[in-house]
Homo-oligomer: A and B are copies of this chain.
């Protein structure tokens, strides 16, 4: 199905791996490729119209992102979502929300150009919420918080935080997809409050808001998971 999906000829030299990496990454994070799906090197190579080598390198990069799992001498599959480690995930995520938001508040008042960048991300988030576009919402939310982390200025934190947000995207996707109707406007307001605190340089307030914001998200996802668990149990009783 669909031999070469891009009719545009091979662009520049080093772009093969990049293209495969970005495409697969997006598809995995959007849950178009469900966890456990096998990723066959030869199938991928003729889907993208290139040799196995760049495909292989893309898979290696995805593996180092823990997005795919390589079974030696067998095939590689889309990594499972690790529900068991969820509490630890939430803990780490909350910590990074706090650290980055606090850090941003310490520098916010003196970096107006970065504030406009944060505002721009927030604008995209608002647009996505109004358009009821779950994927765009998650994407914009990630970019919003990464922009805040950038303002905070610690690249080690930014890197770790980005990773966490990416890993969580699949869960968020799972979650958002269940209520496309009731739009979570509260997040928009919380983001606005965060921006205000950062701009005012109020670190304590920023910290509090980060805690609340993280708590909000964590709670909602946990409720969602609980609902799912109930449903799964109900189904298994039939």
A residues at B contact (CB < 8 Å)? 13-14, 53, 56-57, 60-61, 64, 72-73, 85, 88-89, 91-92, 95, 99, 153-157, 160, 164
Contact = CB atoms under 8 A, between A and B. Distances in A.
Chain A binding surface SS class:
helix
Nearest to A92: B156
Given A64-B61, A64-B64, A88 B155 contact: yes
Contacts of A160: 92, 160
A156 B88 CA distance: 7
Q: How many copies does the complex hold?
A: 2
A157 B95 CA distance: 10
A85 B57 CA distance: 29
Nearest to A56: B57
B92 A157 contact: yes
A155 B154 CA distance: 21
Given A13-B73, A73-B13, A92 B61 contact: no
A128 to B, nearest CB: 27
Contacts of A156: 85, 88-89, 91-92, 164
Nearest to A60: B60
B14 A72 contact: yes
B14 A88 contact: no
A144 to B, nearest CB: 21
Contacts of A14: 72-73
A200 to B, nearest CB: 23
Contacts of A153: 88
20 contacts: A13-B73, A14-B72, A56-B57, A57-B57, A57-B60, A60-B61, A61-B64, A64-B64, A85-B155, A85-B156, A88-B153, A88-B154, A88-B155, A88-B156, A89-B156, A91-B154, A92-B154, A92-B156, A156-B164, A160-B160
